[in-house]
Chain A
Amino acid sequence: MEHIPILQMGEFLLVTIQVDMHDRLALQLQDDLTNKIQATGARGVLLDISALDMVDSFIGRMIANISGMSRILDAHTVLVGMQPSVAITLVELGLTLPGVKTALNVERGMAMLRSAMGAAEKADVSSQD
């Protein structure tokens, strides 16, 4: 069975999709990632699609699913690295990925996750007061 590697970097998980995914591989990633979030207690996921030269509705749905599922498991997902031609095509196709957080690159994505987690911690502290 093929898998897309999920790397742990501190409290974040990094997924870099570097192959032209067939549908089953995309579904496998949803499974693997949710299990990994549960096993590691990760609070953030960076989904790097800079190597993908197309995103169709199936992959788009997988991205939206991952974002929704991780949120329920108390982790934030940020989609990073989308190529401009992919963004243009996705919007014309009719997919705008509502609810999915995006950043231009991994560095900005990481900053976004840190600030999301910082805000969550502050909220925790103030609710204890």
Chain B
Amino acid sequence: MSVVKTETLELRNEQDIVLARQAVRRLSQACGFSLVDQTKMVTAASELARNTVTYGQGGTVLCETILDGARTGLRLTFADSGPGIADVSLAMTDGWTSGNGLGMGLTGAKRLVNEFDLDTKPGSGTRVTITRWK
């Protein structure tokens, strides 16, 4: 698997969430995703970017266009050095929220992509990686 192109965006505030959505839209189009797949990736990115800003005290998103044989994909890695998630299985429950959201962010984002990986430890931040293939 090779990385064709990378781009890193800061996620500090609400405006950065909008900018991240727009960047993911542009990169999904460049990967040749269908409109529905673009929309799924942008929506998943919006949920995770908001988590980074709201719960992770800000962080970054690394956007990578990847090639695996004949497949093109887009991989996004959301990283923060916030408080981390103490109970991952609870956080991955539909409708559960530690804040005042709907509790659909993590679980919803997972349903919208092909690959989902959550790496977190209390006190050492959270890293969520999602991939969608064309």
A: residues with CB less than 8 A from B are 20-24, 53-58, 60-61, 83-86, 88-90, 92-95
Contact = CB atoms under 8 A, between A and B. Distances in A.
B18 A22 contact: yes
Interface string B1-43: 0000000000000110110011001000000000110111011
A89 B43 CA distance: 8
A85 B35 contact: yes
Contacts of B75: none
Given A20-B22, A93-B111, A60 B39 contact: no
A89 B40 contact: yes
B94 interface: yes
Contacts of B105: 57
B39 A85 contact: yes
Contacts of B111: 92-94
B36 A57 contact: no
B1 to A, nearest CB: 26
Interface of B: 14-15, 17-18, 21-22, 25, 35-36, 38-40, 42-43, 46-47, 50, 94, 101-102, 104-105, 107-109, 111-112
Given A20-B21, A92-B40, A58 B107 contact: no
Contacts of B108: 57, 92-95
A24 B36 CA distance: 26
A57 B102 contact: yes
B17 A22 contact: yes
Query: Across chains A and B, which 5 residue pairs bring their CB atoms closest together, nearest first?
Result: A93-B108, A56-B46, A85-B39, A22-B14, A57-B104
Nearest to A61: B102
B126 to A, nearest CB: 18
Given A22-B18, A60-B102, A89-B112, 19 more contacts: A22-B14, A22-B17, A53-B39, A55-B43, A56-B43, A56-B46, A56-B50, A57-B101, A58-B101, A61-B101, A85-B35, A85-B36, A85-B39, A89-B40, A90-B43, A93-B47, A93-B108, A94-B111, A95-B108
